[in-house]
């Protein structure tokens, strides 16, 4: 049976602008075939096989015909396939051609629309594509024509009412400005160019048709960028979003944490998670809940797997009513609190009640760090084990690193080259707790900022360090 192929629009760049259906299809996918401009941060949470078929201007690592055949072949293997495209698949994305090819080969497919940069990218730069005072229509034009294709109807374009947006047109910017003026558009017509729209490295300039080429060259604006022509450009100053961490990019070498991600994003920052450890859930026996005792949580991920097991058996946290809940450190205590559970205290082997059952919950290998008195009746409940995978990341893309745990420090550091370690040693490193800060300093990181382990403290400290 042929697998479903989903042609999905990833939106203009910000991972949070993906649609809910798009996210669900990515979660269900066996294979993701993605384009060059898809944000890596959008791909990282998903476990499917990932195939990069990105095409650079004038340089295609794989042809469109090969991509079409690949989609058909993967579907015939019974795999659920996501064809992930920047923006919207049907807005100059060749999604229509791919859909036709799939249809001709009797392959089931669907289209999941995405936000096009022609609209969302402008909004991110403070430009509404329509406005009652300036434009009651808009026109989206590709600047990248087919080889030997017909020339654009510049006479018609230059006399259109409303906003004109050119996508994939940076190489043609001098000709675009020249042709519009030559065919009757005023040379002082406002123009804006928005590079990397909705990304952390978004940049934009405003000018007019007479000067836009020189302005772009002076400011070193290049592809990927969109060009917008019309009166709505005048609104950039009034509608430009301003947030404290706008334009900053942070790395969190840890598993995906939506609360920390949201907290930083809401302040304008972009966030990438990077975890070299893949977690493999393990089978384990549950303790005797009626007996009561002390449950020591050594890391929150382990407790999460523990909770999942309870739920599969129709049990919830009320089963722990007879147990004392102890956190191994302040970070775990805080995460439990965020999950609605108040720890009875922090782990201290000298204060344990050895007359009651003691159960440690944690990662398989890490549990060996928690040895109690040999006379104590202690059980070690390993709910998962970690496996390290080879994965690289360019630290030059980041302004700072947030370390939630000591393991996140060592995982990132040990996987870096000597050059990357040198760069890492100079970066602003925000360590959540004293233990994490000590690990950073032990490895020679010089710019370590210790933060009390709460999301609010992280945000306030980051804002203070990067105050502008």
- pLDDT at position 57 is 57
Could you write out the DSSP letters of every residue in 186-199?
A: -TT-EEEEEESTTS
Read off the pLDDT of each residue in 366-378 and give the average, rounded to a whole number: 61
Average pLDDT over residues 239-254: 88
What is the pLDDT confidence band of residue 124, given thresholds at 50, 70 and 90?
Answer: very high
Q: Where are the domains of the chain?
A: 5-114, 119-239, 249-276+389-465, 279-387
Question: Strand locations in 239-299, DSSP E?
Answer: 249-252, 270-273, 277-281, 293-297
Least confident of 72-86, 164-178, 322-336: 322-336
Mean pLDDT of 229-249: 92
Answer with the residue of higher pLDDT: 72 or 454: 72
- Res 168 pLDDT > 70: yes
Identified catalytic residue from 85, 88, 168, 257: 168
In the set 23, 30, 50, 55, the catalytic residue is 55
Two tokens at 115? 């936000």
35 is catalytic: yes
Summarize the confidence of residues 115-123 as an average pLDDT.
96
Query: In which order are the strands placed within the sheet that holds 345-346?
Result: 277-281, 378-388, 358-363, 293-297, 323-327, 345-346
DSSP E strands, 243-306:
249-252, 270-273, 277-281, 293-297
pLDDT at 340: 87
CATH topology identical between 5-114 and 119-239: no
Res. 450: pLDDT tops 90: yes
pLDDT at 457: 93
Do the beta carbons of residue 449 and residue 439 sit within 8 Å? no
Q: Under 8 Å CB-to-CB from 59, ≥6 apart: which residues? A: none
Active site residue 275: no
323 vs 358: CA distance, rounded Å: 9
Our separate counts of H helices and E strands in the chain read 16, 23
Catalytic residue among 35, 88, 275, 411: 35
* 397 is annotated as an active-site residue: no
Residues 148, 141: Cα–Cα separation, whole Å: 17
- pLDDT for position 248: 93
CA distances from residue 185 to 64, 177, 179, 240, 309 in whole angstroms, order as listed: 36, 9, 9, 26, 67
pLDDT of residue 389: 61
Q: Which residue has the higher pLDDT, 392 or 23?
A: 23
Look up the CATH superfamily of 5-114.
Tetrapyrrole methylase, N-terminal domain (3.40.1010.10)
Query: CA–CA separation, 311 vs 307, rounded Å?
Result: 6
Per-residue pLDDT, 374:
41
Model confidence pLDDT, tens digit, residues 292-351 = 889 999 888 889 889 888 898 898 888 888 899 999 888 888 888 888 899 999 988 878
Task: Select the CATH number that applies to the domain covering 279-387 from these four: 1.10.287, 1.10.1060, 2.60.40, 3.40.50.
Answer: 3.40.50
H or E stretch covering 205: strand 203-208
Instruction: Give the closest residue to 363 by CA, choosing from 345, 385, 380.
Output: 385
Residue 445: what pLDDT? 94
Average pLDDT across the chain, whole number: 89
Domain spanning 249-276+389-465: which CATH class is it, in words? Answer: alpha beta
Nearest to 57 by CA among 155, 176, 172: 172
Q: Is the Cβ–Cβ distance between 462 and 250 less than 8 Å?
A: yes
pLDDT band for 371, please (50, 70, 90 cuts): low
Q: Which ranges constitute the DSSP H helices of 77-137?
A: 95-104, 117-124
CATH number of 119-239: 3.30.950.10
For residue 335, the model assigns a pLDDT of: 84
The answer to whether residues 212 and 154 touch, using CB atoms and an 8 Å cutoff, is no
More confident position, 46 or 106: 106
Q: Which is nearest to 269 in space by CA: 250, 254, 241?
A: 250
């Amino acid at each position: 049976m042929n697998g479903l192929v989903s042609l999905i629009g990833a939106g203009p760049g910000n991972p949070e602008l993906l649609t809910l259906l798009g996210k669900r299809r990515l979660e269900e996918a066996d294979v993701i075939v993605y384009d060059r401009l898809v944000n890596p941060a959008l791909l990282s949470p998903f476990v499917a096989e990932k195939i990069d078929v990105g095409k650079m201007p004038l340089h295609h690592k794989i042809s469109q015909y090969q991509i079409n055949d690949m989609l058909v072949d993967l579907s015939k293997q019974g795999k659920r396939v996501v064809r992930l495209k920047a923006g919207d698949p049907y807005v100059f994305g060749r999604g229509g051609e791919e859909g036709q090819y799939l249809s001709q080969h009797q392959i089931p497919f669907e289209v999941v629309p995405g936000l096009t940069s022609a609209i969302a990218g402008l909004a991110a730069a403070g430009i509404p594509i329509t406005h009652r005072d300036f434009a009651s229509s808009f026109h989206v034009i590709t600047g990248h024509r087919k080889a030997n294709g017909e020339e654009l109807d510049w006479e018609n374009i230059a006399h259109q009412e409303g906003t004109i947006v050119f996508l994939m047109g940076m190489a043609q910017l001098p000709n675009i400005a020249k042709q519009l003026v030559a065919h009757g558009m005023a040379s002082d017509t406002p123009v804006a160019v928005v590079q990397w729209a909705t990304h952390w490295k978004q940049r934009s300039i405003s000018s007019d048709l007479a000067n836009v080429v020189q302005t772009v060259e002076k400011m070193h604006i290049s592809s990927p960028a969109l060009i917008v022509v019309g009166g709505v450009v005048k609104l950039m100053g009034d509608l430009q979003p301003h947030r404290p961490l706008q334009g900053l990019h942070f790395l969190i070498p840890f598993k995906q944490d939506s609360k920390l991600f949201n907290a930083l994003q809401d302040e304008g920052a972009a966030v990438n998670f990077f975890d070299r450890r893949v977690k493999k859930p393990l089978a384990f026996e549950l303790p005797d809940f009626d007996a009561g005792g002390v449950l020591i949580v050594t890391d929150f991920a382990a407790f999460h797997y523990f909770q999942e097991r309870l739920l599969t058996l129709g049990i919830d946290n009320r089963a722990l009513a007879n147990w004392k809940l102890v956190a191994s450190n302040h970070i775990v205590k805080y995460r439990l609190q965020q999950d609605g559970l108040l720890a009875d205290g922090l782990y201290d082997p000298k204060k344990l009640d050895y007359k009651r059952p003691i159960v440690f919950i944690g990662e398989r290998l890490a549990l060996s760090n928690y040895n109690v008195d040999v006379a104590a009746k202690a059980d070690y409940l390993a709910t998962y084990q970690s496996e390290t995978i080879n994965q690289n990341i360019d630290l030059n893309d980041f302004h700072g690193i947030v370390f939630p745990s000591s393991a996140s420090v060592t995982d990132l550091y040990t996987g870096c080259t000597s050059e990357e370690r040198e760069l890492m040693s100079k970066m602003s490193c925000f360590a959540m707790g004293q233990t994490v800060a000590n690990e950073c300093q032990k490895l020679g990181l010089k710019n370590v900022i210790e933060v009390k382990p709460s999301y609010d403290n992280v945000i306030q400290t980051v804002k203070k360090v990067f105050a502008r």
